[in-house]
């Protein structure tokens, strides 16, 4: 297993080092190469993602990212020049975000029920495709467009992946989240493709929810969801909500996947570089550890992935939630449990 690791900025290197500690317990032979990308490299050299580095990243089986960003870097530079660029260059069309309320974790909801869902968010199209522009900038008549791009090919591959995941899960339930009553054209394409693909999965039950209603249900009755499939923008928003109701940012892991496996997929905690707590050993590395579990699962090491998730579940069930411990202590505990 050849892994490229981008520790990044702030707490990125702190949580990544614990995640690699846990990985070392299940895959001691993994070959790891570190890449220095992010705010500190940009400050030092002006570089975001040199072609040569992109070429090297492509030679790996998967990428593990900590987090990039710093208050000294103007907003948008790293997002567009590094994170979005990686996503588009490596065709990460599925953004995968499981959200599970682990026993022992107290989320913000008084009575959340048994929450265990996974959001499959389209990653390369929708309003994030960069199809738009400004006309007559800085005049009274300025026009701004941001066109949502939805291709049959792009929607089908994401919907197919969501159905495959639903098929593997005990409840075998899939919810399409969109806004078909207002976004008629894109909504029609998504609905027709979900209907089409559902014919290949007679075991999977299918539901539909408008995105605004989905935000209500995520708060009032989150356990109704199993697999949710949705476009890039709606997915960005509901995945943060799903993470919040299942215990928050220290636990949320994600994968940016090229399902065809032509390019390495990239795994990362959902949180950012948390400059407010960086360098203090306070960051919870659990989300980074769970990202390693997703990585192993994607590469076919199902048993190793399951062991890591079970270790996290055990640790969360037995942790003192009022003082979960320092970054290294949590990493040591998880490594020992695995
Ligand atoms: P953030 O996720 O870094 O922090 C939000 C809050 O959550 C902070 O109070 C932080 O201390 C806390 N937090 C985050 N991760 C934690 C952890 N593992 N354990 C305990 N507490 C944790 O989001 P923020 O503050 O909006 O962004 C900070 C920087 O990170 C910015 O430069 C932003 O652009 C970047 N960022 C990078 C991402 C990435 O690399 N994919 C994603 C999100 C933000
Ligand atoms: Mg987001």
Residues 6+ apart with CB under 8 A from 44: none
Residue 51, in any domain of the structure: yes
Check whether residue 86 and residue 139 sit in a common domain.
Answer: no
Whether the CB of 272 sits within 6 Å of ligand 1? yes
Instruction: Indicate which atom in ligand 1 lies nearest the CA of residue 288.
Output: 18
Residue 338, in any domain of the structure: yes
CB 294 within 8 A of CB 254: yes
pLDDT of residue 250: 85
Looking at all shown ligands, the one closest to residue 232's CA atom is: 2
Count the domains in the chain.
2
Which residue is it, tokens 């976004």? 183
Residue 14, in any domain of the structure: yes
Check whether residue 28 and residue 153 sit in a common domain.
Answer: no
Check whether residue 273 and residue 230 sit in a common domain.
Answer: no
Identify the domain containing residue 329 by its residue range.
Answer: 1-93+257-338
302 is catalytic: no
Check whether residue 47 and residue 76 sit in a common domain.
Answer: yes
Q: Which of the listed residues 212, 245, 278 is the one where a domain comes to its end?
A: 245
ipTM of this predicted structure: 0.97
Residue 81, in any domain of the structure: yes
CB 120 within 8 A of CB 96: yes
114 is catalytic: no
- CA 153 to chain CA mean position, Å: 22
Residue 102, in any domain of the structure: no
Structure tokens at 299: 């590469």
Check whether residue 236 and residue 274 sit in a common domain.
Answer: no
Distance (Å) from CA 211 to ligand 2 centroid = 16
User: What is the C-alpha to C-alpha distance for residues 294 and 308, in angstroms, rounded to an integer?
Assistant: 9
| pTM of the model as a whole | 0.95
Check whether residue 87 and residue 177 sit in a common domain.
Answer: no
172 is catalytic: no
User: What is the C-alpha to C-alpha distance for residues 69 and 80, in angstroms, rounded to an integer?
Assistant: 12
Residue 190, in any domain of the structure: yes
Check whether residue 63 and residue 3 sit in a common domain.
Answer: yes
Residue 252, in any domain of the structure: no
Dihedral through CA 255, CA 259, CA 261, CA 265, nearest 10?
-10
Check whether residue 54 and residue 83 sit in a common domain.
Answer: yes
pLDDT of residue 319: 87
How confident is the prediction along the chain (338 residues), in pLDDT tens digits per residue? Answer: 999 999 999 999 999 999 999 999 999 999 999 999 999 999 999 999 999 999 999 999 999 999 999 999 998 899 889 998 999 999 999 999 999 999 999 899 998 999 999 999 999 999 988 899 999 999 999 999 999 999 999 999 999 999 999 999 999 999 999 999 999 999 999 999 999 999 999 999 999 999 999 999 999 999 999 999 999 999 999 999 999 999 888 899 999 999 999 999 999 999 999 999 999 999 999 999 999 999 999 999 999 999 999 999 999 999 887 777 799 999 999 999 99
Check whether residue 130 and residue 241 sit in a common domain.
Answer: yes
Q: Which of the listed residues 245, 265, 292 is the one where a domain comes to its end?
A: 245
User: What is the C-alpha to C-alpha distance for residues 64 and 66, in angstroms, rounded to an integer?
Assistant: 7
* Residue nearest to ligand 1 atom 38, measured at CA: 272
Strand partners, 254: 268
Q: Where are the alpha helices (DSSP H) in 199-301?
A: 211-220, 232-245, 286-298
Check whether residue 114 and residue 239 sit in a common domain.
Answer: yes
Check whether residue 165 and residue 212 sit in a common domain.
Answer: yes
Whether the CB of 316 sits within 6 Å of ligand 1? no
Check whether residue 117 and residue 4 sit in a common domain.
Answer: no
Q: Which of the listed residues 245, 272, 301 is the one where a domain comes to its end?
A: 245
User: What is the C-alpha to C-alpha distance for residues 300 and 325, in angstroms, rounded to an integer?
Assistant: 32
Residue 101, in any domain of the structure: no
Q: What is the CATH number of the domain that holds 194?
A: 3.40.718.10
């Amino acid at each position: 297993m050849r892994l490229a690791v981008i520790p990044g900025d702030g707490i990125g290197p702190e949580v990544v080092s614990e995640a690699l500690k846990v990985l070392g317990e299940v895959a001691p032979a993994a070959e790891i190469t570190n890449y220095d990308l992010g705010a500190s490299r940009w400050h030092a050299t002006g570089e975001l993602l040199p072609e040569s580095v992109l070429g090297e990243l492509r030679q790996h089986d998967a990428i593990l990212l900590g987090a990039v960003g710093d208050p000294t870097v103007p907003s948008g530079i790293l997002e567009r020049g590094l994170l979005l660029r990686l996503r588009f260059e490596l065709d990460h069309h599925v953004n995968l975000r499981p959200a599970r309320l682990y026993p022992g974790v107290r989320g913000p909801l008084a009575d959340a029920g048994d929450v265990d869902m996974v959001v499959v968010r389209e990653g390369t199209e929708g309003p994030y495709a960069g199809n738009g522009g400004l006309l007559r900038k800085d005049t009274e008549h300025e026009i701004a467009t941001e066109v949502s791009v939805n291709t049959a090919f792009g929607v089908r591959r994401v919907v197919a992946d969501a159905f495959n995941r639903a098929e593997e899960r005990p409840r075998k339930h899939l919810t399409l989240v969109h806004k078909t009553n207002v976004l008629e054209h894109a909504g029609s394409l998504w609905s027709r493709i979900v209907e089409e693909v559902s014919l290949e999965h007679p075991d999977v039950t299918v539901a539909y929810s408008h995105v605004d209603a989905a935000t209500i249900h995520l708060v009032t009755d989150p356990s109704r969801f199993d697999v949710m499939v949705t476009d890039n923008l709606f997915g960005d928003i509901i995945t943060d909500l799903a993470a919040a109701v299942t215990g928050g940012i220290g636990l949320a892991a994600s994968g940016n996947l090229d399902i065809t496996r032509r390019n390495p997929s990239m795994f990362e905690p959902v949180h950012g570089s948390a400059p407010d707590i960086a360098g203090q050993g306070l960051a919870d590395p659990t989300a980074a550890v769970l990202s390693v579990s997703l990585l192993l699962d994607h590469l076919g090491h199902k048993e190793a992935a399951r062991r890591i998730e079970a270790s996290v579940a055990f640790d969360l069930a037995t942790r003192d939630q009022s003082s979960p411990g320092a970054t290294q202590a949590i990493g040591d505990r998880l490594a020992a449990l695995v």
